[in-house]
Structure formats: structure tokens, C-alpha cells
Structure 1
Amino acid sequence: MAVFNLHLFVLAALLVLGTVSARRLVYVEVRQSQDETRTRGTCTQMSNKCHLASRDDQVCPADYNRCPFDGAPCVLIEPRGDSSRKPEVRCGYLGAQGA
């Protein structure tokens, strides 16, 4: 009987932890999508710039963030509200397509 109760307790604990983790992931995803705006574009290797529709071209910063080939994806990430973060350009960005 005690072994059965232990198994039941462990199973219940695992279910609760899984539910909490799933809720936390949803909360974090919603929060991140509300905290920033992402504008997608393509970059040019020669000029190392990100071409964004209806915006000025943005320079891909630093060596680690260079445009790997012409037409590679890039994204401008702009924080919303009173965030202390600065806008960021990522070139050669292969993040989630829905983001």
C-alpha cells in the first residue's frame, strides 16, 4: 500500500511540474512578443547591410553578425515601451519564421 501511495505521489508531482512548465513557457512567449517588434528583411554580403521594407538599410554589426550570403535573412528587433534595450540588427538570422 505504501509503495502504491509513493508511486501515486510521484506521478502527481510530475504532472503538476509539467503543467507549471507549460504555463510558464506560454507566459514567456507572450511576454517576449509584446516586448519587441521584429521587422524581417534580407541582407547583402558586399555592403553587409540589412534591407528592410519601408525603412533605411541597417548595418550588420560586428564580425560575428556579418551577412553570410546575398539574400540571407536578417531582422531588426526594436524593444517597445520604456525598455532600456537598444534596437538590434541580426544578419544571417535563422530564427522562428512566425516570430
Structure 2
Amino acid sequence: MKGQTYVILTIIFIIVISVFAVLNVGAVEVNYVFWRGSSPLIFVILFSVLLGGILTTVVGSKKYFRLKRENKQLREQVNHKELDELNGLNKDEDESNK
């Protein structure tokens, strides 16, 4: 259900941004870092949304991969401890059988 909610909210967000961009088609003066130019406002809006999405993805993926690596390390620790416990139980059984 959580995944469906995100998909629905994403579709609504895309529709709102699209309507907003289409309503603003006039040319505007844009001051880029090293030059100035005139661009249709729709391109400025869509480029800004695209750049924001890319930056959010990059930052989010950094955190995702860090958490994935930490999860893998913790799983290895749990597996190692379980193996140690099993080996300890096997040793106890061997000693009691002698």
C-alpha cells in the first residue's frame, strides 16, 4: 500500500508541475552563472524540477548505499554469531557423548 501511495502522489505532483509549466510559456531573462539569456519560462520550470529530482536522487542514493552496506555488515555479524553458537552447541554435545 505504501508503494501505491508514492506512485499516486508522484502522478499528482507531475500533473501539477505540468499544468503550472504550460500556463507559464512566456519568455524570461535568465541569469546563468557565466552568461545571460532569454528562455521560455516552461523550460526554466521543467529544467529546475528535473535538476531538483536528480540532486534528490543522488543524495538519497548515497544514504541508500550506506544503509545497504551497514545492513550487510550486520547480517554477517548475526550469521557469524549464529555459527559460533551452533559450534558451541556441537562441542557441548560431543563432550556429553564421550
What is the TM-score normalised by the length of structure 2?
0.38
Greater gyration radius = 2
Q: Which has the higher contact order (CA 8 A, sep 6+)?
A: 1
The alignment's TM-score, normalised by the length of structure 1, stands at 0.38
Greater strand proportion: 1
